[in-house]
Chain A
Amino acid sequence: DADVTQTPRNRITKTGKRIMLECSQTKGHDRMYWYRQDPGLGLRLIYYSFDVKDINKGEISDGYSVSRQAQAKFSLSLESAIPNQTALYFCATSDPTGGQDEKLFFGSGTQLSVL
């Protein structure tokens, strides 16, 4: 079983709809991240959380919100989806105190298409 699980794997939605992407992890890591991947732009950080009570904006947070429901769960919401939010979204975790240093562990991604 995957250590970092994202649901759904693929999603098609319409402009203006609210959508939630979910991420859960069994690694026991405190730190979780949401990244967005666009062709030619690489991966860009949307939000990150260093523990349940700590939520921080990344470089492209406009139009997104997050919820850290528990150590293991970190959800990304698009309140009113727009076509330029069409992208591949990744959740990731890290554990700097567990001997993994700055390594990120990624989920398998959610491909979102906004029509």
Chain B
Amino acid sequence: AQTVTQSQPEMSVQEAETVTLSCTYDTSESDYYLFWYKQPPSRQMILVIRQEAYKQQNATENRFSVNFQKAAKSFSLKISDSQLGDAAMYFCAYTNFGNEKLTFGTGTRLTIIP
């Protein structure tokens, strides 16, 4: 079974600084997808960024980017120019190609310090 590990239960960063959230996963598959979801206090689950394992290029969405290391099974999220609205719980998630049953990590709570 696939597992997703987020080893940082909590992180904090000064406003306008950069922060990196860590995620590792375990799988024997070669084709899969990785995601970062954001859950603000409203508790809505919001997709931040998505990476396809067969693509070597790291995904980027505005201030959010990932460092995808397939051999190391690592998928970290970098948030640049942190803003107060980035404060949330962040979940890393995995799914096999053609199978949308996501496996989630335990989450990292990010605090933004004004």
Contact = CB atoms under 8 A, between A and B. Distances in A.
Interface of A: 31, 33, 35, 40-45, 48, 58, 88, 90, 92, 94, 96, 101-104, 106, 108-109, 111
Interface residues of B, number: 25
Interface stretch (B11-19, B43-51, B55-63, B73-81): B43-51
Contacts of A92: 45
Interface in B22-71: 33, 35, 42-45, 47, 50, 52
Contacts of B99: 102
A90 B95 CA distance: 17
Contacts of B105: 42
Contacts of A108: 42-44
Contacts of B100: 31, 33, 94, 96, 102-104
Contacts, number: 57
Interface of A is mostly: strand
A90 B45 contact: yes
A6 B52 CA distance: 30
A109 B33 CA distance: 24
Contacts of B6: 42
Given A58-B101, A102-B95, A102-B100, 20 more contacts: A35-B104, A40-B107, A41-B106, A42-B91, A42-B104, A42-B106, A43-B91, A45-B102, A88-B43, A102-B97, A103-B35, A103-B47, A103-B50, A103-B100, A104-B45, A104-B47, A104-B102, A108-B43, A109-B43, A111-B43
B51 to A, nearest CB: 11
Contacts of A103: 35, 47, 50, 100
16 contacts: A33-B101, A41-B106, A42-B105, A43-B91, A43-B93, A45-B102, A58-B101, A96-B100, A102-B33, A102-B98, A102-B102, A103-B47, A103-B100, A104-B102, A109-B44, A109-B45
Nearest to B103: A45
Contacts of A48: 101
A101 B101 CA distance: 12
